[in-house]
């Protein structure tokens, strides 16, 4: 009888754990669906997916985070971010992540959306930056996509004046490297359908190396980057999320200097 009871406890515990994991996955999908309504048609959702995926692997430490870091979480409004740091200043470090419920303007939906991406623990292995750790502890992701319309389109026929110069294949390759939240690197190669290889295999190249919160260096990006300051009046490259049903979402969330990882061939700076 005791063995059956223990087995039942393990089974129930397993169901609860699986339900929590499934709930977190649903939250991520819900976030993507909700923000997609307020994005431009040509916005590259891959960039947002990469941000949320990275924070699920390496959650944000609530006691060591910054306003710019929280602004990358698209479901948080400027008012909520301001209230978060006001609470942290008045009450000190968080002891439990569920304290988020005590912050003004943090409703249940916001807290549930935030939980998969935050923590109170410190990943000490990423604080010791060395060449050896970069090689052994870093995460590498390579994604390649190929697409082609099977039916022959008019632009690829031999009709005079209606022919694209290039081939009908569309190809994209993305390489991403992350060493925790300290070092990142990105390479994006893209070839659109109908575009011709003129002396090079791809029509769009993009890449960068970025360092964050390393000693006196707050941010350093070499390569392609975006700048977002002053609600777009001062400087704004890249996309901004549109207005949502919440009145606090009218204001843009300026993220300052950011590495550019999108496959869009415009709206970025290089240097």
pLDDT digits (tens, 9 = 90+) for 185-214: 999 998 877 777 666 777 888 999 998 877
Give SS3 for 146.
strand
Query: Which are the contacts of 57, defined by CB distance < 8 A and separation ≥ 6?
Result: 139
What distances in angstroms separate CA 9 from CA 12, 23, 109, one per listed residue?
5, 21, 30
Interaxial angle between packed helices 45-57 and 2-36, expressed in degrees from 0 to 180 and rounded to the nearest 10: 150
Spatial distance between the Cα atoms of 207 and 176, rounded to a whole number of angstroms: 10
State yes or no: pLDDT of 131 exceeds 50: yes
Spatial distance between the Cα atoms of 172 and 143, rounded to a whole number of angstroms: 8
- pLDDT, the chain, mean: 75
State yes or no: pLDDT of 241 exceeds 60: no
pLDDT band at 83 (very low <50, low <70, confident <90, very high): very high
Q: What is the pLDDT of residues 47-57, one digit of tens each?
A: 778 888 888 88
Structure tokens at 144: 């390649």
* Domain boundaries of the chain, sorted by first residue: 129-271
């Amino acid at each position: 009888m005791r063995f059956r009871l223990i087995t039942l406890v393990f089974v129930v515990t397993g169901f609860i754990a699986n339900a929590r994991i499934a709930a977190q996955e649903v939250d991520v999908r819900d976030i993507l669906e909700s923000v997609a309504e307020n994005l431009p048609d040509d916005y590259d959702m891959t960039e947002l997916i990469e941000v949320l995926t990275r924070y699920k692997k390496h959650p944000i430490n609530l006691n060591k985070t910054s306003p710019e870091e929280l602004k990358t979480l698209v479901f948080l409004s400027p008012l909520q971010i301001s209230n978060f740091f006001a609470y942290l200043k008045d009450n000190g470090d968080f002891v439990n992540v569920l304290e988020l419920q005590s912050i003004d303007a943090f409703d249940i939906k916001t807290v549930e959306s935030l939980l998969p991406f935050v923590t109170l623990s410190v990943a000490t292995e990423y604080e010791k930056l060395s060449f050896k750790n970069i090689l052994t502890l870093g995460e590498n992701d390579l994604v390649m996509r190929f697409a082609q319309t099977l039916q022959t389109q008019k632009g690829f026929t031999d009709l005079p004046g209606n022919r694209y110069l290039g081939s009908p294949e569309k190809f994209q390759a993305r390489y991403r490297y992350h060493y925790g939240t300290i070092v990142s690197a990105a390479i994006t190669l893209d070839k659109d359908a109908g575009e011709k290889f003129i002396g090079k295999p791809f029509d769009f190249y993009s890449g960068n190396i970025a360092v964050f919160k390393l000693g006196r260096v707050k941010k350093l990006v070499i390569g392609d980057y975006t700048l977002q300051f002053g609600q777009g009046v001062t400087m704004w490259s890249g996309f901004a999320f549109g207005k949502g049903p919440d009145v606090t979402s009218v204001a843009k969330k300026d993220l300052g200097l950011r590495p550019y990882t999108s496959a869009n061939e415009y709206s970025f700076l290089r240097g």
